[in-house]
Amino acid sequence: MSPLKLLFISTPVGAIGSGLGGGVELTLTNIARSLMALNHSVTVVAPEGSVLEEIPLIQIPGNLQITAQSQGRDALITLPANSVLGNMWSYARQVQHDYDVILNFAYDWLPFYLTPFFDCAIAHLVSMGSLTDAMDQMLEQVVAQFPTSIAVHSLAQAETFRFKENCFNLQNGFDLAQYQFNPTPKNHLAWVGRIAPEKGLEDAVAAIEKAGIPLKIWGVIQDGSYWRSIQMNYPNAEIEYCGFLPTQELQQALGESQALLMTPHWIEAFGNVAIEALACGVPVISYRRGGPAEIVKDGKTGWLVEPDSIDGLVAAIAKLNQIDRATCRQDAEQEYSLRAMGKRLEIWLDRVVQSRNS
Ligand code: HBI
């Protein structure tokens, strides 16, 4: 495949490296690196204050977008004054003829609305399941006009949309060299993610209180009142908040855990941290819901639990000794390396460019 010149437009909810962008921050970096390793060129446009290593970055000022998952299904389409989203796409319009394809990472109405107004092919990586009627409508309109242009991270996520047959399942991919296999865990479990209601941290805390094993928690405290309510409601649970760590430190800490607990109350589009755990040899115990249910091989790389069942989590914790940590690492290498994802990306992006130019 001939080398592509790509322009990435990042999420408008936070600068890359702030943690506010959640999984998209890591995904964007990994997609950039996997394509650059295949000789494509990548330039990233992101909100001011973003930090990226060895990837060309253009920082755009402006006010951040509110998060889509905190709105209701009938949420109006909104933009703040001097929106960074609008400013990023004004820049993209000006430079579009220097690129073969623009890759959008924002889960926002504007980039999808603008798609037919651009000469340059635009590909959209949709990073969450269906959240609002206005976004669903906009996504369906783009798929109708540009059938190859949307990719998702899992079949479960695609199932939440009406265009599920007309999107590309990218899954995800990680630089596994950054993750060290750790065969000998300490006596605690791990929970990693934005601390917000849709991530269901309270279920993990309830389960470890019953199981009598400590829990270490990493991630941005996005909803302070939700975090305080957990601390109030489970006074006897042995929990320790360990902050938001960049990948290098997180994988070091994660590798010391007996298992990662994933307790999503929403349809987690993928569950990046599940792969990060497996890459360190850490089994994953997850609700059978969303992306993690397509990642965890039940009884082999972890346990899948009936959604919202605390007792199910407790029972799975008791069976952790049946999981071989080396198998977890091997599984990550097999399916979720940067190279494996890079190949999937080339298939998708080639279709987008070909169909736009046809
Ligand atoms: N909300 N409005 C909006 N735009 C985004 O790009 C966005 C978001 N909420 C969460 C989010 N992106 C990412 O954390 C997830 O896509 C992973």
Both 125 and 182 in one domain: the answer is no
Q: Distance, CA 67 to ligand 1 centroid (Å)?
A: 6
Residues 286, 274 contacting (CB under 8 angstroms): yes
Domain match, 10 and 157 both: yes
Instruction: Give the 3-state secondary structure of 321-335.
Output: HHCCHHHHHHHHHHH
Atom of ligand 1 nearest to the CA of 21: 14
Considering the domain architecture, whether residues 81 and 192 belong to the same structural domain is answered as no
Query: What residue type is 179 in one-letter code?
Result: Y
Which of 149-180 are b and which e, b meaning 16 or more Cβ less than 10 Å from the residue's Cβ? bbbbbbebbbebbebeebbbebbbbbbbeebe
Please give the backbone phi and psi of residue 191, each rounded to the nearest 5 degrees, phi first.
Answer: -140, 130
Residues of the chain with pLDDT under 50: none
> Is 85 found in the same domain as 27?
yes
Distance 6 CA to ligand 1 centre (A): 21
Q: Exposed (0-12), middle (13-18) or buried (19+): which is 143, by Cβ within 10 Å?
A: buried
Residues 153, 43, single domain; the answer is: yes
Distances (CA, A) of 23 to 30, 181, 189, 308: 11, 22, 21, 22
The 10s digit of each residue's pLDDT in 193-215 is: 999 999 999 999 999 999 999 99
Which domain CATH number covers 197? 3.40.50.2000
What is the predicted pLDDT for the residue at 71? 86
Instruction: Compute, in angstroms, the gap from residue 127 CA to the centroid of ligand 1.
Output: 7
Calculate how far, in angstroms, residue 307's C-alpha sits from the geometric centre of ligand 1: 24
Q: Does 193 share its domain with 163?
A: no
Both 329 and 186 in a single domain?
Answer: yes
User: What sections of the chain are H helices per DSSP?
Assistant: 23-36, 84-95, 109-114, 133-145, 155-159, 201-211, 224-233, 247-254, 272-279, 292-295, 310-318, 325-335, 338-357
**Rounded distance between C-alpha atoms, residue 322 and residue 327, angstroms:** 11
Place of tokens 């791990």: 190
168 and 180: one domain? no
103, 130 contact by CB (below 8 A): no
pLDDT of residue 221: 95
Helices marked H in 115-271: 133-145, 155-159, 201-211, 224-233, 247-254
Tell me: do 206 and 319 sit in the same domain: yes
The CA-atom distances, in angstroms, between 189 and each of 212, 292, 358 are 11, 17, 52
- How many A from CA of 258 to the centre of ligand 1? 30
Among 67, 244, 266, 268, name the best residue to mutate to test ligand 1's pocket (greatest count of ligand atoms within 8 A of Cβ).
67
Domain containing 221 equals: 176-335
114/204 same-domain check: no
Ligand 1 pocket, CB under 6 A = 11-13, 21-24, 65, 67-69, 106-108, 127-128
**What's the CA gap between 168 and 124, in Å, rounded?**
10
Instruction: Tell whether 344 and 331 lie within a shared domain.
Output: no
Atom of ligand 1 nearest to the CA of 106: 6
Provide the domain count of the chain.
2
Question: Is residue 252 left, alpha or beta, with left meaning phi > 0 and alpha meaning psi from -120 to 50?
Answer: alpha
Provide the terminal-to-terminal Cα distance of the chain, rounded to the nearest Å.
17
Q: What number of residues does the chain have?
A: 358
Which residue is closest in CA terms to ligand 1's atom 17?
23
96 and 210 together in one domain: no
Ligand 1: residue whose CA is nearest its atom 9: 67
* pTM given for the model: 0.87
For the sheet with 260-262, list strands across it: 239-241, 215-218, 189-192, 260-262, 284-287, 302-305
